[in-house]
Structure 1
């Protein structure tokens, strides 16, 4: 019998909520973004279809809300085919064990993210000294101990395909975490970016609370490799996405998205890179 799944010892409810919490947005007919406190989950599939997946698994203690959102959109007794993780930070795997137990479905993540999802490795500590506001200061309370999904999590296929999402491919976008991925659909250039870039300055409590739309790099207090983060943003901008759902903040589309991403690439150091913090190297170019 396989070992039971477990969260880390520091797993707990985090009391942070934006005005967008509980709100769902139909970004495209088969792309639905729903905000759990301060983070977005994404449901991919036509409403009422039997074939849909969940991207990311919300904040700690949010399983009931996630289940009810899927029931509302896809009906009773109709679980998603799988959960795809952009990465394994606490606010993206917060309800995963309850969801896997409830739905009995597989979880997929990038191979480099597996140690953090199978109890082998903890994430680096958040940096409360990083330039940024209140959320950065709160970050030491964020859970970083690894969760253990045991045999319930599998590595994504190395060919870029995504199980149960035939029209999407995954793109390795490290920096925020080693195995961070984004999901892209060529035919309409729809992008699920995870935290490779976000549309709210996630470090500032006021902006998180009000969800003021503003493109930014990955959340600073948990990003440890800024050179990789910059390369990932460049990679995504080159795809010229028509619409993007990010891990934090509102979806962005059209000219606003194109121009914002171009600006982020051009002014990455000014916009994304913190002026100081323990993961900001002095010799960064």
Structure 2
């Protein structure tokens, strides 16, 4: 093996060393990928487990490594997608190729993930940091998951997750969902809210926990997004796992979530934006 290939291999191995799940509770863990979190629901010894979201493209090997650290070679029963943005579904095709499992998303997202409708381009005018400026080059073309993805049931139930329900938290995208479990008040928020400043590359690499609104550069409908934050606040979650940022719980999280709901227009909606 020549020196160049040896260095690349060693770099890949180092990356995989970091591809490990962080346990939040005995049956919930997450892996923080480059841009967005993937969440694993199910204890290591459970007969079934579920993966929520699938990161960016070419991250499948790291996601597989993290999942295998927790579950061995046991595949998930299904993959649930909170929405269809590139940083949440990027590796889903490769994961399905490996696991041969079903994928579910809200009906309103189906056109975006089956080759029909593109998302609007990122809005660099919202400010907040380098990621906003880069958002114009983020993929927005409709993905081609036809034959792979199916719509979720329209009654709020989630296949293979009898204790959970999905909540329609539209606004960031037209069919965005969050997942909620009543018994311990755990909320998997997707991008309905963030717990880091998603527009800032500094925050991505040096995360400081705080409750923010949805990533502004990709949010399509701010009125709907505000209603969704009120919906989340009314659920009174004890633990919040957002698509961007570290999990949060406790009184500080609850106070910040309540403040965001009450002051959404000042706290979340950019002063300058395209629409």
TM-score when scaled to structure 1? 0.88
Partner of 1:122: 118
| 1:111-150 matched pairs, under 5 angstroms | 111-150=107-146
Match of 2:242 among 243, 246, 253: 246
Report which of the two has the higher share of helix: 2
Q: Does 1:32 align with 2:40?
A: no
Offset of 1:252 from its aligned partner? 0.5
Which has the higher relative contact order, 1 or 2, with Cα contacts under 8 A spaced 6 or more apart?
A: 1
Q: Deviations over 1:27-55 (max 9, x none)?
A: 11111011011210000001132300000
Q: How many residues align?
A: 258
Between 1:203-212 and 1:186-195, the stretch displaced more is 203-212
Q: Deviations over 1:213-270 (max 9, x none)?
A: 1211000000010000000000000000000100000000021221111011111122
The question of whether the paired residues in 1 share the 8 Å contact of 2:40 and 2:49 is answered with yes
Partner of 2:41: 44
Q: Distance in 1 between matches of 2:46 and 2:58?
A: 27
Q: Does 1:157 align with 2:153?
A: yes
The question of whether the paired residues in 2 share the 8 Å contact of 1:48 and 1:73 is answered with no
Offset of 1:271 from its aligned partner? 1.4
Q: Secondary structure at the match of 2:37?
A: strand
| 1:53-132 matched pairs, under 5 angstroms | 53-76=50-73, 78-132=74-128
Offset of 1:131 from its aligned partner? 2.5
Match of 2:202 among 194, 200, 206: 206
**Consecutive unaligned residues in structure 2, runs of 5 or more:** 1-17
Q: Distance in 1 between matches of 2:125 and 2:31?
A: 30
Q: Secondary structure at the match of 2:217?
A: helix
**Aligned-residue CA RMSD (Å):** 1.1
Match of 1:194 among 187, 190, 196: 190
Q: Distance in 1 between matches of 2:21 and 2:263?
A: 31
The question of whether the paired residues in 2 share the 8 Å contact of 1:22 and 1:37 is answered with no
Q: Secondary structure at the match of 1:150?
A: coil
The question of whether the paired residues in 2 share the 8 Å contact of 1:200 and 1:250 is answered with yes
Between 1:109-118 and 1:146-155, the stretch displaced more is 146-155
Misfit runs of 4+, over 3 Å: 21-24
Offset of 1:152 from its aligned partner? 1.3
